[in-house]
Amino acid sequence: MMCNIRKKFIYIITVAIFFLGVSETQAVPVLDQVFDAGATPTLFSGIGGTDKAQTFTVGLTGKLVRIDVDIIRQLNAPAFTPQDLKFDIRQTLGGVPIESDVTTLASLVVPYASIPTTRGFFSLDISSFDVSVTAGDILAVALRESGNNTDYGLYGRTDDSYVAGAHYFRNPGFGITSWKSTGSGYDVGFKTFVAPISEPSILFLLGSGLIGLISLRKRITSGAGC
């Protein structure tokens, strides 16, 4: 009888873990943080030899699955070889993006031709990186390219419309290897999407597990060993 109880216990735990995983991965992504510069942006931030980043404060606990950026691809002279866009999600320290690539949470290389030449929010799917976030985390969207062509530009505003983050830059070619604030109140357009953890599902599973453990304890105290 003791063996049967142990099997039932293992079964309960296995099912709980399975459904917990399903509840997280099947959660519908929702818009978390957003900054839209509107129809008349007051900031155009070029990406070339100068890397650009925008920090944001996470509002929902779950998985960060998608980032949209207000970006445009510029058509430079034929003499310049276009460079692909490099995209990172970086951790921050004191609200400032971390320079080291070691702590990068997600990284993509986006082909030059895939970025539109007309302004709009461009979506970047990072669901495969399994980036777990907690409400209150401060992260950074970093955008860069190789060379000095300035093939891309970000739209934003200079009136501190998004108070939970800021715009940063760095230019290793000019010795600026640390991220610096672009200016007081500067922000570029972005949207973040989070697949939130379903708290009711978690509570249900935890409650079911506790009931199973209580039942198991009662059976053990009254049952015989194998």
Q: Residue 173, SS3? A: helix
pTM above 0.95, yes or no: no
For residue 64, pLDDT over 90 is answered with yes
Structural domains counted in the chain: 2
DSSP string, 33-79: EEE---SS-SEEEEESSSEEEEEEE--S-EEEEEEEEEEEE----TT
Residue pLDDT, tens place only, 147-197: 778 899 999 999 999 999 999 999 988 899 899 998 889 999 999 999 998
What backbone torsions phi and psi does residue 145 show, to the nearest 5 degrees?
Answer: -150, 165
**189 and 206 within one domain:** no
Which pLDDT band, with edges at 50, 70 and 90, does 1 fall under?
Answer: low
Domain that holds residue 91: 30-196
Indicate whether 105 pLDDT > 50. yes
Same domain, 119 and 60: yes
pLDDT confidence of 212, banded at 50, 70, 90?
low
Residue 220 reports pLDDT greater than 90: no
- Looking at residue 96, its pLDDT comes to 97
Q: Name the amino acid, one letter, at 209.
A: G
**What is the Cα–Cα distance from 175 to 182, expressed in whole angstroms?**
16
Considering the domain architecture, whether residues 13 and 71 belong to the same structural domain is answered as: no
Same domain, 65 and 125: yes
Nearest in space to 57 (alpha carbons), one of 91, 28, 10, 80: 91
Same domain for 65 and 6?
A: no
Looking at the fold, whether 150 and 113 belong to one and the same domain comes out as yes
CB 139 within 8 A of CB 90: yes
| Length of the chain as a residue count | 226
Residue 130, domain CATH: 2.60.120
List residues bridging with 34 in a β-sheet: 191
The rounded percent of the chain whose pLDDT value lies above 70 is: 74
Work out the pLDDT band at 19, boundaries 50, 70, 90. Answer: very low
Q: Are residues 66 and 138 in the same domain?
A: yes
Across 193-211, average pLDDT: 64
Residue 80 pLDDT class (50, 70, 90 cuts): confident
The predicted pLDDT at position 218 comes to 54
Task: Identify the pLDDT of residue 207.
Answer: 54
| pLDDT value, residue 131 | 97
Whole-number CA gyration radius for the chain: 24
Mean pLDDT of the chain: 84
Angle between helices 2-25 and 199-222 (to 10 degrees): 180
**100 and 59 housed in the same domain:** yes
Pair (11, 62) in one structural domain: no
Residues of the chain above pLDDT 90, percent = 62
Q: Where do we find the tokens 């860069």?
A: 144
Same domain, 205 and 131: no
pLDDT recorded at residue 8: 55
* 73 and 163 share one domain: yes
User: What is the rounded average pLDDT of the residues 76-86?
Assistant: 79
- The band of 132, judged by pLDDT with boundaries at 50, 70 and 90, is very high
Indicate whether 119 and 205 sit together in one domain. no
The 3-state DSSP composition of the chain as helix, strand, coil percent (nearest 5) reads 25, 40, 35
